Amino acid sequence: MKILVCISHVPDTTSKINFTDNNTKFDSNGVQFIIGPYDDYALARAIEIKEANAGTTVTVLNVGPADTEPTIRKALAIGADDAVRVNAEPSDSFFVAMQIAEHAKSKGYDLILMGRESIDFNGGVVHSIVGELLGIPSLSPVMKLELEGTKAKLAREIEGGKELLEVNLPFVAGCQEPIAEWKIPNMRGIMSARTKPLQVIEPMAVDSGVSLQKFELPPAKGAVKMISSDNVGELVSLLKNEAKVL
Amino acid sequence: MNILVFVESAEGKIKKTSLEAVAYAHGMGGKVAALALGTVDAADLAALGKFGAAKVLHAADARLNDGVIQAYSSVIVQAMQAENADVLVLANSSLGTPVAARVATKLGASIATNVTELPETAAGFVVKKSIYTGKAFSKIEMKNAKKVIAIKKNAAEVKEVGADVAPESFTPQLADADFAAKITATEKATGEILLPEANIVVSGGRGMKGPEHWGPIEELAKVLGAATGCSKPVSDIGWRPHHEHVGQTGVKVSPQLYIAVGISGAIQHLAGVNSSKCIVVINKDADAPFFKAADYGIVGDAFDVLPKLIEAVKAAK
Ligand SMILES: Cc1cc2nc3c(=O)[nH]c(=O)nc-3n(C[C@H](O)[C@H](O)[C@H](O)COP(=O)(O)OP(=O)(O)OC[C@H]3O[C@@H](n4cnc5c(N)ncnc54)[C@H](O)[C@@H]3O)c2cc1C
Ligand SMILES: Cc1cc2nc3c(=O)[nH]c(=O)nc-3n(C[C@H](O)[C@H](O)[C@H](O)COP(=O)(O)OP(=O)(O)OC[C@H]3O[C@@H](n4cnc5c(N)ncnc54)[C@H](O)[C@@H]3O)c2cc1C
């Protein structure tokens, strides 16, 4: 069994978001980068499957410049066997998906796991584009994934509930909790990650359909109005007459 | 410009977020056709005309009663071809977003999801989208001739702009491969107000102390006509179902009013609620970080404040 896990390299969830160069570049000053939290679920599930099925290999792939390598090494420390970095700025969803599909098309992966969405650009589309490019099913957001031979049983979250599915391998899944518990690398993992293979490949050329013009920050929030807990009626009248939301 | 809007339905009713997609397309000022799939109430189909569709297409094939991602993508592409549509508009959702991605790939279209405003077309075709989980926006030029736009809730206001139209039936070609992923069952709360679509959300955190204390949250939601939500630890420990989990790694909501009770306001929770129009925080700790993100706050014990608030809402009705 061969599993590919695609990971994004994104600002930690507690990061303050700022831009530079006249609001055209993300300001990475003081920002800590992590494996996307959803991608981390995908990786954790892949490792669980590997632990339960002898002979399974897990490859992680990131489309990114050299400074994403510490993030990739962390995925190796968590338990992936080897890694691929497509050496390019991941300029948009379609570009990233094309690189992933180009790598995957000749490798015979049984399962391609991703996060449901990146937490920087929140596209929620790379898994589905890859599925379409490879001509295989894509399912997202997947909250449960059990393998039964060459078949899988999945649960996909939908508004207000979930949908249960059966699908044959291979397919692409965009993962979210509670598919698995996040894994923390142990010392042995961290040591062995240093010597696991990390292959760097050059990107294919892609005609991009979108270009970024500018970033904006939301307007600053006004001050909070405090209301006494003995005067809850006042809150209701403010919501009605001032905020006009009731 | 010809625009196709894919409208989603649940239990036969067109979703409100899809009406927003119709309103958005109408706002773009082209010729709007709406496409609905599976069994949908006839009155709801006709009413799409009122909200801005000049034409309503309906593919009633029972195989489309479930939201099968590949089959839906294929039908939408066929409808775009039939209508000679340049643009597809739909609402972001667990079905809409993956479908948008597959359709865009089939058509070689530019795609933007989480779009919050009508496009600017003075120079090129530029949309604004929410990024960094609501912490920022980006303006993106969509350069290809064909475009797929998935809008975020509240990107357009639903207004009556026309009259009912008679739906036309649409018969797509469906292949077995479109149903390669088989939906075996759907488990769904019925009759509930769905969290991602709600105008008011009442959410509880670990401060509620246990699942047995959710009565006042549910009652407040009921009197307000609101959906219920929760923080991540609350769904992690199983006090509430997973689909109620709000935040960075859960549902992102953008209601008119978000009421947070016994939630501390961790940055990951705020990421899911920061596009709410108005935020009310009830917490017994005056230093809870959530107050900094709130419009109105009450410092107090949830079990004291909630019953009073329920009474006050009832009295104001
Ligand atoms: C310096 C820098 C600048 C960037 N500028 C832009 C920009 O201007 N516009 C823009 O759209 N994006 C930009 N990105 C890329 C962004 O990080 C995403 O990787 C990419 O856009 C895909 O985003 P998405 O939101 O569509 O992914 P989604 O569709 O939300 O992601 C779904 C899943 O796909 C996988 N995935 C996503 N990205 C990658 C990746 N790079 N490598 C491997 N797997 C991945 C993950 O498993 C993820 O959970 C930039 C990244 C960096 C590091
Ligand atoms: C990568 C990552 C992603 C995450 N994603 C999410 C996410 O999507 N959503 C999310 O919610 N969290 C998320 N978290 C977790 C987040 O960091 C917080 O731990 C979580 O939001 C805290 O939940 P809480 O506010 O319910 O609990 P607590 O932080 O324990 O807060 C409980 C609050 O209740 C108050 N309280 C106690 N008793 C009462 C009472 N009787 N009356 C009134 N108030 C009372 C307390 O003063 C306190 O402020 C994420 C964390 C990480 C690391």
For residue B105, the Cα-to-chain-centroid distance in whole angstroms is 23
pLDDT at A200 over 80: yes
pLDDT at A24 over 70: yes
Å between B26 CA and nearest CA of chain A: 23
Residue A9 identity (one-letter amino acid) = H
The answer to whether residues A198 and A76 touch, using CB atoms and an 8 Å cutoff, is yes
Delimiting residues of CATH 3.40.50.1220 domain(s) in chain B: 195-316
* Minimum Cα–Cα distance from A118: chain B residue: B132
| Global ipTM | 0.94
Q: Which residue in B140, B243, B281 is closest to A161 by CB distance?
A: B243
pLDDT digits (tens, 9 = 90+) for A83-135: 999 999 999 999 999 999 999 999 999 999 999 999 999 999 999 999 999 99
d(CA B29, CA A22): 32
Contacts of residue B201, defined as CB under 8 A and 6 or more positions apart, other chains included, come to B195, B226, B227, B228, B229, B246, B253, B255, B257, B258, B259, B276
Interface test with B, best of A212, A236, A244 (most B CBs within 10 A): A236
Q: Which residue in B69, B113, B114 is closest to A139 by CB distance?
A: B69
At B13, is the secondary structure helix, strand, or coil? strand
Quickly list DSSP for B154-210: TSS-----S-----EE------GGGG-SEEEEEEE--SSPPGGG-SEEEEE-GGG-S
Number of H helices, E strands in chain A: 6, 15
Question: Would you state the pLDDT for residue A53?
Answer: 94
d(CA B249, CA A119): 9
pLDDT digits (tens, 9 = 90+) for A150-186: 999 999 999 888 999 999 999 999 999 999 999 999 9
At A147, is the secondary structure helix, strand, or coil? strand
Domains of chain A with bracketed CATH: 2-211 (3.40.50.620)
pLDDT digits (tens, 9 = 90+) for B30-45: 899 999 999 999 999 9
The Cβ of residue B43 has, within 10 Å, a number of other Cβ atoms equal to: 11
Place of tokens 């799409």: B48
Delimiting residues of CATH 3.40.50.620 domain(s) in chain B: 2-179
The CATH number for B2-179, chosen from 3.90.1720.10, 3.40.50.300, 3.30.70.3450, 3.40.50.620, is 3.40.50.620
Interface test with A, best of B94, B151, B304 (most A CBs within 10 A): B94
Residue B222 phi/psi, 5-degree rounding, is: -65, -45
- What's the full length of chain A, in residues? 246
The answer to whether residues A114 and A39 touch, using CB atoms and an 8 Å cutoff, is yes
d(CA B256, CA B153): 11
At B136, is the secondary structure helix, strand, or coil? strand
Per-residue tokens: B111 = 């795609």
What whole-number percentage of chain A has pLDDT above 90? Answer: 93
Question: Would you state the pLDDT for residue B193?
Answer: 84
Q: Which residue ranges in chain B fall short of pLDDT 70?
A: 190-191
Q: Is B176 on the interface with A (CB under 8 A)?
A: no
For residue B294, the Cα-to-chain-centroid distance in whole angstroms is 23
Place of tokens 């800590």: A32
The answer to whether residues A106 and A81 touch, using CB atoms and an 8 Å cutoff, is no
Is A191 exposed, middle or buried (CB count within 10 Å of its CB: 0-12, 13-18, 19+)?
exposed
Q: Is A34 on the interface with B (CB under 8 A)?
A: no
Ligand 2 test: best mutation among B208, B244, B248, B291, most atoms within 8 Å of CB?
A: B248
The answer to whether residues A39 and A115 touch, using CB atoms and an 8 Å cutoff, is yes
pTM score of the predicted model: 0.92
Place of tokens 């990421």: B271
CA torsion sign, B7 to B8 to B12 to B13? negative
**What's the topology of domain B195-316?**
Rossmann fold (3.40.50)
CA atoms within 13 A of residue B26's CA, in its CB half-sphere: 22
At A119, is the secondary structure helix, strand, or coil? coil
Question: Would you state the pLDDT for residue B197?
Answer: 86
Query: Which residues is B291 bridged to in the sheet?
Result: none
Question: Would you state the pLDDT for residue B191?
Answer: 65
- What's the full length of chain B, in residues? 317
The answer to whether A158 contacts B95, with C-beta atoms less than 8 Å apart, is yes
Question: Would you state the pLDDT for residue B188?
Answer: 83
pLDDT digits (tens, 9 = 90+) for B181-228: 999 999 987 667 889 889 999 999 999 999 999 999 999 999 999 999
* Minimum Cα–Cα distance from B149: chain A residue: A123
Strands lying side by side in the sheet with B2-7: A210-216, B136-142, B126-131, B110-115, B147-151, B87-91, B2-7, B31-37, B55-59, B168-169
The Cβ of residue A202 has, within 10 Å, a number of other Cβ atoms equal to: 9
Number of H helices, E strands in chain B: 8, 17
Per-residue tokens: B229 = 């939500």
Contacts of residue B269, defined as CB under 8 A and 6 or more positions apart, other chains included, come to B205, B231, B232, B246, B247, B248, B263, B290
d(CA A104, CA A114): 13
Ligand 1 center to A120 CA (angstroms)? 7
3-state helix, strand, coil in chain A (%, to 5): 25, 30, 40
CB of B289 closer than 6 angstroms to any ligand 2 atom: no
Place of tokens 């961790």: B266
The answer to whether B200 contacts A245, with C-beta atoms less than 8 Å apart, is yes
pLDDT digits (tens, 9 = 90+) for A49-97: 999 999 999 999 999 999 999 999 999 999 999 999 999 999 999 999 9
Helix (H) or strand (E) holding B150: strand B147-151
